[in-house]
Structure 1
Amino acid sequence: MTPMKEDYLKIIFELGGGKKKVSNKEISLGLGIAAGSVTEMITKLTEEGLVAHEPYAGISLTKKGCNYAAELVRKHRLWEDFLVEKLHYQVADVHPEAEVLEHETSDRLATALDDFLGHPKTCPHGGVIPDASGHFSQVNHRLLAAGQDGETVVVERFLDNHELLTYLSDLGIELNDQLTIVKHEPFEGPIVVTKKGQADPINISYKAAHNIFINEK
């Protein structure tokens, strides 16, 4: 399987496509790829039995696709946890390293790494780590972009993207931050928020707000 196909399976998994349907737009924003290219790849993945696409309803992983994605995500996130916890990497810097390591990791090595780390449940950016059987706990999939003006929310996880994590680090946005949504600027403008304990507003881009997950209401 090509790295690009694997990236699609992983982003669909991250967006919750193992449990529900996700939209073409969510995938496009998550990967930073034009919607037309997403449609083309989803067609290929559907033909290979890895995803199911219901027009106007959304895209989800098939059992085959979910199993494949869960294995990739498990190995990737275990390495991310190792790099941050044991080698003291910055969270924003671990994705490229883990991307390489996941493909060289046998099931035996993944099990040993999991044991060594004490069986972490989530990676450094809040993503769930599937177990050796591919099982994973249900996680929330509400996006910051879907929050309401005036609502106070808690940041629970970020999509695994180097550019995004660097951007959020520069803004001072971290996991478990409590944010109050001031307003959504029109025409796909930024989401303006304030962070608990700080008075100055923070502008979070439209794209980033679709890559940040918050608590359910």
Structure 2
Amino acid sequence: MKCFEVLEKKKKKEDYLKIIFELGGREKKVSNKQIAMSLNIAAGSVTEMVNKLVKEGLVTHTPYSGISLTDEGVKVAEKLVRRHRLWETFLVEKLNYKLQDVHSDAEVLEHVTSDNLMDHLEAFLDHPKYCPHGGVIPDKLGHYEEESHLTLSEAKAGSTITVDRFTDNHDLLTYLDDIDIKIGDTLEVLEHAPFEGPIRLRFTQNGQETSIGYKAAHYIFVK
């Protein structure tokens, strides 16, 4: 039982580091609210875990400003992200998983995989640079292209954007599949409804209109 509890605590800590990395915590401050929304947990739980990560030297926390990864935190997060996203790529490309169904199995596999197996998996997949939901995949030396951290929620009305990547969240990916928004789609931002209402968009390819919920728009990264 104790062994299981230790593993669960380790996994939870790693989930925090991965989501802080994904939200841009390598280069900017990430808020407690962003982490809580992404992991679908209470804000109080975020505060508790962040304090533990600060003590371990993996993140820094500036009150009322946000959380960012330390150099050591970046190294740990890059390794975790590499493992997770390589397995996601394998499951989608080779085993025909749906994108929204891949996260949980990739989570299991990343925790039981040796470095040697990861190197062979990367070579088998021909050294992919991006996972199926658009996130970068660091190589074994920690090299990767910088991700966009501009969210759809920040795109101004009247601007034209291209969907670059999605946060790795099952409910979000299911939602985006339902409304048929994909990586690479180009959209015109028509209107931000007031009081945290939906964002109205138009596909430039065919002129069709759609709307994205306020919360979801925070986890769609665009260029």
Answer yes or no: same fold by TM over 0.5. yes
User: When the two structures are aligned, how many residues end up with a matched partner?
Assistant: 215
Mapping for residues 36-115 of structure 1, pairs under 5 Å:
36-115=44-123
Q: CA RMSD in A?
A: 1.4
How far apart, CA to CA, are the structure 1 residues paired with 2:56 and 2:212? 37
Match among 184, 193, 196 for residue 204 of structure 2: 196
For the pair 1:187 / 2:195, whether they are aligned, the reply is yes
Pick which of 193-202 and 12-21 moved more: 193-202
How far apart, CA to CA, are the structure 2 residues paired with 1:213 and 1:45? 26
Q: Name the counterpart of 1:118.
A: 126
Deviation above 4 Å: which 4+ runs of structure 1? none
Counterpart amino acid of residue 12 in structure 2: M
Counterpart amino acid of residue 77 in structure 1: R
Q: Name the counterpart of 1:144.
A: 152
Pick which of 1-10 and 161-170 moved more: 1-10
How far apart, CA to CA, are the structure 1 residues paired with 2:135 and 2:198? 24
Shift of 1:2: 2.3
Shift of 1:205: 1.1
How far apart, CA to CA, are the structure 2 residues paired with 1:197 and 1:16? 29
Q: Structure 2 regions of 5+ residues with no counterpart?
A: 1-8
Shift of 1:14: 0.3
How far apart, CA to CA, are the structure 1 residues paired with 2:208 and 2:141? 46
How far apart, CA to CA, are the structure 1 residues paired with 2:126 and 2:145? 17
How far apart, CA to CA, are the structure 2 residues paired with 1:135 and 1:113? 17
What's the TM-score once normalised by structure 1's chain length? 0.94
The answer to whether the 8 Å contact 2:186/2:205 transfers is no
How far apart, CA to CA, are the structure 2 residues paired with 1:40 and 1:187? 30
Q: Structure 1 regions of 5+ residues with no counterpart?
A: none
What's the TM-score once normalised by structure 2's chain length? 0.91
Q: Name the counterpart of 1:164.
A: 172
Q: Deviations over 1:117-139 (max 9, x none)?
A: 11000000000001112233211
How far apart, CA to CA, are the structure 1 residues paired with 2:146 and 2:206? 32
For the pair 1:174 / 2:182, whether they are aligned, the reply is yes
Instruction: Give the % identical residues.
Output: 58
The answer to whether the 8 Å contact 1:30/1:210 transfers is no
